[in-house]
């Protein structure tokens, strides 16, 4: 994930550079390579994207803000020196979790956008998991809604303000409970939900749900078996 195509170590089996020509709806990718002789003998290949997009100044500021929250939570100051130290520690954990060597560490000054986006998601997961307070609502730092909402559901943290949450079943695809649908007996797997505190649970009932989603830049996700088990809800038989 971290290595760029031109930085990969020598591969005795023949590393190929390919150009992406197109995508199919079923997940197939059309590639153009200079030499197909080695690929003809393979059933599986590993693809390392070469992301040439550079991080924007705003994205960089957002990552440093998240690191500042973590530094303050750890009892450190938000000085540049302390944030740099915390950043190095968090990058080490991020690389270890990704199965990457520490020598593949990246710099926020010139790292590809895709790498830093994954690092940003890692920092947000860490903040949610550890109930770290933030000056601004955490959803303002999120570019992967589903992952953020899932983390909040796991931690039972309101996706708007971070307080203790309950499940809100959204009025989407018949996901709403009540009105003759007993939450104790129905199958919850596949229903659309948000983790909301009591205040924001009440608020969403005062307006059309789409307005609430737009106001806070969030959208519901569907409950899977893992989430249903955590909340003690019924699932489809496996």
Range of the domain at 185: 158-231
Q: For residue 148, is it within any domain?
A: no
**Digit-coded pLDDT (tens) for 74-103:** 998 888 899 999 999 999 999 888 787 766
140 belongs to a structural domain: no
In a domain, 236, yes or no: no
Q: How far apart are CA 132 and CA 150, in angstroms?
A: 17
**Number of domains, the chain:** 3
Residue 173 lies in a domain: yes
- The verdict on residue 67 lying in a domain is yes
117 vs 237: which has the higher pLDDT = 117
Does residue 122 sit within a domain?
yes
Which residues on neighbouring strands pair with residue 166, listed in sequence order? 196
CB neighbourhood size of 71 (10 A):
21
* 118 and 89 in a common domain: yes
37, 64: one domain: no
- Asked if residue 215 belongs to a domain, the reply is yes
In three-state form (DSSP H/G/I as H, E/B as E, the rest C), the secondary structure along 151-176 is HHHHHCECCCCCCECEEEECCCCCCC
In this structure, the answer to whether residues 166 and 130 fall within a common structural domain is no
Q: pLDDT tens digit string along 96-143? A: 887 877 666 788 888 888 888 999 999 999 999 999 999 999 999 998
The region of weakest confidence among 62-76, 88-102, 173-187 is: 173-187
pTM listed for this prediction: 0.72
Of the candidates 207, 198, 96, the residue with the CA atom closest to the CA atom of residue 156: 198
pLDDT of residue 6: 44
The answer on 106 and 73 residing in a single domain is yes
Same domain, 166 and 224: yes
CA distance 167 to 195: 5
């Amino acid at each position: 994930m971290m290595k760029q195509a031109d930085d990969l170590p020598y591969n005795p089996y023949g590393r190929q550079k390919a150009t992406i020509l197109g995508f199919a709806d079923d997940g197939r990718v059309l590639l153009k390579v200079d030499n197909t002789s080695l690929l003809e003998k393979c059933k599986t290949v590993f693809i390392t994207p070469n992301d040439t997009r550079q991080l924007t100044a705003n994205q960089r500021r957002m990552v440093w803000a998240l690191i500042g929250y973590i530094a303050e939570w750890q009892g450190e100051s938000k000085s540049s020196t302390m944030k740099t130290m915390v950043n190095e520690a968090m990058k080490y954990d991020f690389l270890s979790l990704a199965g990457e060597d520490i020598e593949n560490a990246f710099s926020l000054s010139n790292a590809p956008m895709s790498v830093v986006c994954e690092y940003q998601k890692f920092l947000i997961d860490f903040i949610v998991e550890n109930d770290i307070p933030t000056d601004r609502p955490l959803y303002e730092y999120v570019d992967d809604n589903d992952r953020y909402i899932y983390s909040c559901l796991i931690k039972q943290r309101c996706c708007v303000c971070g307080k203790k949450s309950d499940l809100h079943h959204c009025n989407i695809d018949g996901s709403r409970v009540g009105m003759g649908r007993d939450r104790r007996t129905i199958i919850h797997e596949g229903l659309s939900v948000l983790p909301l505190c009591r205040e924001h649970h009440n608020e969403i009932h005062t307006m059309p749900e789409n307005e609430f989603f737009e106001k806070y830049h969030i959208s519901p996700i569907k409950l899977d078996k893992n989430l249903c088990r955590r909340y003690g809800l019924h699932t489809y038989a496996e």
